[in-house]
Amino acid sequence: MGHEHGHGHGLTPDQALSAGGRYLRRLWIAVGLGGVTFALQLAVGLLTGSLALLADSAHVFTDVFGVALAAIAITMAKRARGRSEHTFGHYRAEVLAALVNAVLLFGVAGWVLIEAAARFRDPPDVPGLPVMVVAAVGLLLNLASFALLRRGAKESLNVRGAYLEVLADMLGSFGVLLSGAVIMVTGWPYADPIIAAAIGLFVLPRAWRLGRSATHILFQHAPERLDLAEINLALATLPQVTGVHDLHVWTLTSGMEVASAHLSTTAEADTSEVLALAQQVLSEHFDIEHATLQLETDGSSGACHDLSW
């Protein structure tokens, strides 16, 4: 008996979309809300000469850019799904966007910390009331975006990047609101740089985790939630299976994990039954819905082991 291939996928139309694709509309709404916040803060910052508002508007611009980048990446992935030359679509664009988002978050956090240090040396005069009003409006808009993306952040790496940027911006608006209130009530100018530094320190570790997750996927590491030894054992102990080799499991993009493996079987094995059982095990026990499996009778898999990679 020669080699036999098979693959399994039990995806519904909704599951065929990546996790990020299911939240595309919400991402674009968040982009619109962030754009309004940016325009308002920039206009009032220029009119009042408030450095705090101008600084936060730059932060908001970075966030809006990052969220828009995430939405564009997901749109690219969806449009490429039906093209034959794009066998896996453009789903990796989502992961690349998440990595760019992480870099942007690092840049914003670093800039905030540098700006905070400068303000400790020479604190600017911040007009309290207009700053508080604009910061309050920005905070409300950010809360709306936060609520829109919160669920998607648990499913998609790309949406998580956008969510973190909205979260950082929400904290920025809250910080500007608080610092404006303190300055207006007490006249103490150091409230702004202290809160700015706290926000920068809050963002840094989250940006690191996002970037680490993105590079983990880009280098095609096995998903952290899965134990390859456990998968190997589960497949190897199936009836009529005598061995497993060339097992690979990787993440295409958030919510889309795929696997491939070679299964050695007995000469009298029912290949259709073995394939069905293997796909069932991968789906039910490991949540892997797309798997490409090659079945080989004992003694026919020598060529597989000749590969140097």
Q: pLDDT tens across 137-163, in order?
A: 988 998 898 888 888 777 776 677 778
Same domain, 95 and 127: yes
C-alpha to C-alpha distance for 116 and 106, rounded to whole angstroms: 15
**Higher model confidence: residue 52 or residue 218?**
218
Q: Which two tokens stand for residue 237?
A: 């102990």
Q: What is the pLDDT of residue 213?
A: 86
C-alpha to C-alpha distance for 13 and 254, rounded to whole angstroms: 17
C-alpha to C-alpha distance for 94 and 74, rounded to whole angstroms: 6
Same domain, 192 and 227: no
Same domain, 104 and 240: no
- pLDDT of residue 282 exceeding 90, the answer is yes
Q: What is the pLDDT of residue 178?
A: 85
Dihedrals phi, psi of 157, to nearest 5 degrees:
-60, -40
What is the pLDDT averaged over residues 205-225? 86
- Whole-structure pTM value: 0.71
Q: What is the pLDDT of residue 15?
A: 40
Same domain, 253 and 125: no
Same domain, 136 and 274: no
Q: What is the CATH number of the domain that holds 55?
A: 1.20.1510.10
C-alpha to C-alpha distance for 72 and 27, rounded to whole angstroms: 10
Q: Are 250 and 220 spatial neighbours (Cβ–Cβ below 8 Å)?
A: yes
Q: What is the pLDDT of residue 5?
A: 52
C-alpha to C-alpha distance for 100 and 26, rounded to whole angstroms: 20
Same domain, 188 and 232: no
Q: What is the pLDDT of residue 190?
A: 83
Q: What is the pLDDT of residue 10?
A: 41
Query: Within 13 A of 3's CA, how many CA atoms are on the CB side?
Result: 13
Is 7 a domain residue? no
- Residue where a domain stops, chosen among 200, 218, 236: 218
Dihedrals phi, psi of 306, to nearest 5 degrees:
-80, -10
Same domain, 141 and 234: no
Give residue for tokens 């508002």. Answer: 53
Is 183 a domain residue? yes
Q: pLDDT tens across 116-125, in order?
A: 888 788 877 7
Is 123 a domain residue? yes
Task: Give all strands (DSSP E) within the chain, no chain letters.
Answer: 4-8, 241-253, 256-265, 290-297
Q: Are 98 and 70 spatial neighbours (Cβ–Cβ below 8 Å)?
A: yes
Q: What is the CATH number of the domain that holds 282?
A: 3.30.70.1350
Is 2 a domain residue? no
Query: What is the tally of structural domains in the chain?
Result: 2
Same domain, 264 and 228: yes
Domain hosting residue 198, numbered range: 16-218
What is the pLDDT averaged over residues 214-229? 88
Among residues 241, 228, 230, the alpha carbon closest in space to that of 273 is found at: 241
Is 153 a domain residue? yes
- pLDDT of residue 19 exceeding 80, the answer is no
Same domain, 185 and 294: no
What is the pLDDT averaged over residues 26-55? 83
- pLDDT of residue 99 exceeding 80, the answer is yes
Is 1 a domain residue? no
Same domain, 105 and 249: no
Is 10 a domain residue? no
Q: Calculate the average pLDDT of the chain.
A: 79
Is 193 a domain residue? yes
Same domain, 226 and 158: no
Q: What is the DSSP letter of 3?
A: -
Same domain, 21 and 120: yes
Q: What is the pLDDT of residue 280?
A: 93
- Residue where a domain stops, chosen among 194, 218, 242: 218
Q: Which two tokens stand for residue 244?
A: 């497993």
C-alpha to C-alpha distance for 104 and 106, rounded to whole angstroms: 5
C-alpha to C-alpha distance for 275 and 5, rounded to whole angstroms: 9
- Residue where a domain stops, chosen among 218, 239, 272: 218
